[in-house]
Amino acid sequence: MELPAHQLSMTVLMTPDMANFSGNVHGGAVLKLLDQVAYACASRYAGRYVVTVSVDQVMFLQPIHVGELVTFLASINHTGTSSMEVGIKVVAENIRGHSVRHVNSCFFTMVAVDDDRKPAPVPALHPDSVDGKRRFEQAVLRKKLRQELASKFASIKASYE
């Protein structure tokens, strides 16, 4: 299956070493995989090393069980000068029962960096599908919200100094 350069799919078998005390896959193991998927998607799109700046709206919708196949569907939703929003949808598949569930969604902001670890430009994203345009518009709204929250946080922080 050929995906566009701004998308990536990765499937991983959930193994017993990923389990928490309740026998489900540990949220931390999922977060680590999410970061790896975001890195792979963003670095391939940018053609260079990237770093994680933020993780937004991580929603653990359902538990993931040991033995399930988990597929991470990543897409560059929006680009700035050096930043990219990577949206990731996670689906779990019960191999024996053939059931597929949407178990997690989140958004990563990744920044491309050069050899001196300074922000580097990334190719502009020009969505051409209905879904791509919808994701782009939603990413713009999330970016504005992040900026507003950062501004409010800075003023609260300043009031305590």
Q: Quick one: pLDDT at residue 154?
A: 87
- Domains in the chain, please, with CATH? 7-126 (3.10.129.10)
Q: Any idea how long the chain is?
A: 161
Instruction: Return the DSSP state at 121.
Output: -
pLDDT of residue 78: 96
Using CA atoms, how far residue 74 sits from 12, 39, 62, 65, in Å, is 14, 10, 19, 21
Q: What is the pLDDT of residue 1?
A: 59
In 3D space, the residue among 12, 40, 38 whose CA is nearest the CA of residue 107 turns out to be 38
Walk along the chain (161 residues) and give the pLDDT tens digit of each residue: 577 889 999 999 999 999 999 889 999 999 999 999 999 999 999 999 999 999 988 999 999 999 999 999 999 999 999 999 999 999 999 999 999 999 999 999 999 999 999 999 999 999 989 999 999 999 999 989 888 988 888 888 888 87
Provide CB contacts within 8 A for 114, sequence distance 6+.
Answer: 48, 120
d(CA 84, CA 8): 14
